[in-house]
Structure 1
Amino acid sequence: MPWNTVRKTLNYYIFQISGLDTNVNFLIDLASHPSFQAGDVHTGFIDTHLDSLFPPIQISDETITQAIAAIVTNERYVAIALSIRQGCRGSPFAACDGFRLNSYLERTLSIESNGQKYNIHIRYVGSNYEIKIDDNDWKPFSINSVKDSYPNRFTLKLHLDGKESIFSTVIKDNYIDIFNQNGRNEFSLVLPKFFTECSTDGSTDGETDKSSDKVVSPMPGIFDKILVEVGEWVEVGQPVAVIIAMKMEYVLKAPKNGTIKSVSKKLGNSVIKGEIIVAFECDEQKPKI
């Protein structure tokens, strides 16, 4: 089998596994190694080529921009879905991504990968964008969908520096997986300080109050999903609800074991910081049926 076919197979049919650590990136590097392709393979192959098979991890500006493209695309999908759910189909807040009269929207965010933090500036310019990574120069880029997308999972074409690249992405909470020609790259969106300092029981020190009998919204947003039912017994840390804030989904979790007593809000309603979403009775042991 031609090696470029092996690489394509790894890229597009095998390697798109999210949420688990795999050795697919290594297999892609192995299949791309000139000595491996030349058939110069022996039992000491990995030891001989250790440095080239396991080089220091360096993330390109292209891959970082792909992660940002995934984030802004997901935000647009979430905004459109939310407007439809609220009966505001065609809302300009969803349809006009980043639109501002007589000015350009500019925002900042931070992402992390392999222990490295990247400070990102994004400028919305019509239907396209500009990006500034750390202290580098501004670069224009554009995004197009390649095929039908699913919530939090899609394939995109990025135009950057006069080149096109096609990649797939999976977004879960504030985690972003990018699958491109080099394998899988994992990113996390750095949450704002005011969010991380407020837990889902209403405390503000970042620590969950284990004696709490409620789950509250840590920030203003939209009550999007309820993951439990009244009367259901849940364990500490179990996801119970999802809110949408800043066009991202945030999962609220139970602070301790207990039985769901009530759900205080209706799906689609706005919630304020500290508002009770779910209340429950604290039962350390699961009731016997």
Structure 2
Amino acid sequence: MAALRCLRLPLVGQKRHLRSVWLCRELSGDSQQLFDKILVANRGEIACRVMRTAHRLGIRSVAVFSEADRNTMHADMADEAYCIGPAPSSESYLRQDKIIEVAKATGAQAIHPGYGFLSENKHFAELCTNEGVEFVGPPPSAIEKMGVKRVSKRIMSESGVPVVPGYFGEDQSDPRLKVEADKMGYPVMIKADLGGGGKGMRIVPSADHFQEALDACRSEALKSFGDDKVMVEKFVERPRHVEIQIFADKQGNTVHLFERDCSVQRRHQKIIEEAPAPGLRSDVREGIYSAAVSAAQAVGYVGAGTVEFIMDAQQKFYFMEMNTRLQVEHPITEMITGTDLVEWQLRVAAGRPLPIKNQSELVPRGHAFEARIYAENPDKNFIPSPGHLHHLCPPTTSQTIRVDTGVKQGDEVKTYYDPMIAKLAVWAEDRESSLKKLTESLKHYQVAGVSTNIDFLQRLSSHPQFIEGDVHTGFIEQHSEALFPPPQPLPSLSVMEAALSLLALEGASHKSTEAYVHDPFSPFCDMSAQRVNTVHNRTVCLKDKDNTVEVDVSYRGNNRYTVSMGDSSPMEASSWLEEGGTVKGFVGERTFQANVALVDRQLHIFTRAGSFSVELPMAEFVQKKQKSEEGGVRSPKYPSTVVRVGVAAGDKVTKGTIVMTVEGMKMESNIMADKDGVIKSVFYDIKDSVPPFSKVVEFNK
């Protein structure tokens, strides 16, 4: 195993496990340990999540990591950790042979695949069995039956589970698929057979768009899943996405753990989930529970699984697919049922029966929400925003506020993987209280260094229709005007607080300089303005969006100032930096307290009421130089590959025209013209690799 390197001595963590073994026995009533050691074949927050339960149960954990993940949280959390290859997942996290090699070399008795990567790969499940390592998941036969959507639809239909009308046949020719779509009537949905995570899906509004959508769907499916087979379904108008958590053991017992509503999505990917689903009739609940259990039993299911349904406005539901693994959103089910689903997975994998004897022992309590915190830019079609997490401070956790993450301050959101930073889950006795807790927790989630969807999630969770529970998969598109409002200027008091925060940072920096030069009389170390008259009065210039704002400041010594903006009357003010990076101060009668982070000329202000940011303007000559270098349209700030080229040299285009489509960070992104003009040059072709933030086309001047 020349490629393997242990990061953590096996002895580390033994003492912490002694009490955990006792705790496990107390909780589950077992006198025999489930496994001695497991390997977690995943990364990030899910790997950390699995290890937390393993450690609580007294089970030692083995991590695998790529070269890009050498110093990550999941590698550090494990008792042993080994490098299995370069950054691309195809050369590391998807290398079945290397993962098995590590498992056997370390004596791991089981492999937990998490979700994504190899979690729904029947060949990997078979390989584990053949190598004598327990796969923490369903049998390969169940993965195979439910992994191919066309096959699962037929099985469900034969089992009496309602399915969406569609074409699930073997004839994959373009003409046959088009004929079937025409028969159903538009809109229709094209789905990749092996799809997941919103990939390989296209809504087709009319016959004129069918071929374009089919080509795009096949292309994305082939890249993501290695198979371009698709199916065509009738699109349900204003659908809700409701899913049922099921669990089955090897003794033939199957139960459900109630439902989750995952309707609010972007790019067909969930971003806010809740449990239970709001507004379902009791007869619908019982019907959908029964259908989910029947679906699991029809394929001889074992372990954790999620049966997903689409539901129309009349609450008529149809089977959509089954995810044969643990779901990203499982924490909210744990919160309303008081269970640990990873512990259940390990119990079942070890051959134990479910920890409950019958369905009636499971009783849901309260209401829970989960919001997925992503490094992405919602205002640019949720394009990923990789980079360093210069400042990261989540809300305070408790029994009712949970943060599942795989990163810490100073870590990097990698360009090779999903840009999720964390999952924020909250619980309260009822939906209204839980939603208030979610919005309040989002206000206190602090991230600087990358763009995030936190502000967007605040707007979404505060939207009146969301508060009412009137949700569906087209919610974001329907309410786009409210969810993507035009930029508004900051209130004057916020701008003054930003200026005072900057002064506090400068003051701390000057004190540091004073200590360094050992000269308290140096004018470079003095902020009192008693010796340097040129700084007694100062105008602090900041950029609020595209507007430059000015705050007039008069220094009065001892961190006290007089500030004003425009024609406003001067106000007394003060600010200072405390240990830990907190700025405190006041403007007039209003006090403020904020965490402040200055990253790449962006000043981020995090207060109890929320967050905002301003920019420090560049010198004019730097702006001119940068503008001259930025000409043309550029690719995203991560490596990508060209999927489609929409223009050629000499083409006349308008602002918003798609000039190129690229794929990177597990998604396709359209690069659009930022102005009207004539294309002078196109620098990349299909299948070309594009470095981050590269010029892809150039206009005639």
Q: How many residues are aligned here?
A: 190
Cα separation, 2, equivalents of 1:69 and 1:85:
24
> Match for residue 29 of structure 1?
459
Q: Cα offset for 1:183?
A: 4.5
Residues 93 and 53 of structure 1: is their aligned pair in 2 closer, same or farther, counting only changes over 3 Å? same
| Conservation of the 8 A alpha-carbon contact between 2:537 and 2:555 | yes
> Match for residue 145 of structure 2?
none
Letter in 2 for 1:115: D
| Conservation of the 8 A alpha-carbon contact between 2:583 and 2:593 | yes
1:68 aligns with 2:499: yes
Coordinate RMSD, CA, aligned: 3.2
> Match for residue 589 of structure 2?
162
Matches within 5 A, 1:36-51: 36-51=466-481
| Conservation of the 8 A alpha-carbon contact between 2:501 and 2:596 | yes
Q: Which has the larger radius of gyration?
A: 2
Residues 98 and 174 of structure 1: is their aligned pair in 2 closer, same or farther, counting only changes over 3 Å? farther
Cα separation, 1, equivalents of 2:585 and 2:465:
32
1:83 to 502, 505, 514: 514
Cα separation, 1, equivalents of 2:510 and 2:584:
21
> Match for residue 139 of structure 1?
571
> Match for residue 148 of structure 1?
579
TM-score by structure 1 length?
Answer: 0.55
Letter in 2 for 1:163: R
Matches within 5 A, 1:1-289: 1=427, 2-12=434-444, 14=445, 16-58=446-488, 59-88=490-519, 91=521, 97-100=527-530, 105-127=536-558, 128-145=560-577, 148-149=579-580, 154-172=581-599, 174-181=601-608, 183-192=610-619, 196=622
Residues 10 and 178 of structure 1: is their aligned pair in 2 closer, same or farther, counting only changes over 3 Å? same
Q: Which moved more, 1:175-184 or 1:51-60?
A: 175-184
Which structure features the higher share of strand residues? 1
Q: Cα offset for 1:82?
A: 0.7
Q: Which has the higher contact order (CA 8 A, sep 6+)?
A: 1
Residues 120 and 191 of structure 1: is their aligned pair in 2 closer, same or farther, counting only changes over 3 Å? farther
| Conservation of the 8 A alpha-carbon contact between 1:171 and 1:177 | yes
Residues 179 and 31 of structure 1: is their aligned pair in 2 closer, same or farther, counting only changes over 3 Å? same
> Match for residue 282 of structure 1?
none
Cα separation, 2, equivalents of 1:35 and 1:144:
42
| Conservation of the 8 A alpha-carbon contact between 2:504 and 2:583 | no
Runs of 4 or more consecutive aligned structure 1 residues displaced over 6 Å after TM superposition: none
Residues 259-278 of structure 1: per-residue CA shift (max 9 Å, x gap): xxxxxxxxxxxxxxxxxxxx
Q: Cα offset for 1:164?
A: 2.8
Residues 169-188 of structure 1: per-residue CA shift (max 9 Å, x gap): 11135331222356543322
**What SS class does the counterpart of residue 575 from structure 2 fall into?**
strand
| Conservation of the 8 A alpha-carbon contact between 1:142 and 1:159 | yes
Provide the identity percentage.
23
Cα separation, 2, equivalents of 1:159 and 1:49:
38
TM-score by structure 2 length?
Answer: 0.25
Letter in 2 for 1:114: K
Letter in 2 for 1:176: L
Q: Cα offset for 1:137?
A: 3.3
**What SS class does the counterpart of residue 186 from structure 1 fall into?**
strand
Cα separation, 1, equivalents of 2:514 and 2:500:
21
- Unaligned runs of 5+ residues in structure 1 are 198-204, 208-289
Which structure features the higher share of helix residues? 2
- Unaligned runs of 5+ residues in structure 2 are 1-426, 428-433, 627-701
**What SS class does the counterpart of residue 612 from structure 2 fall into?**
strand
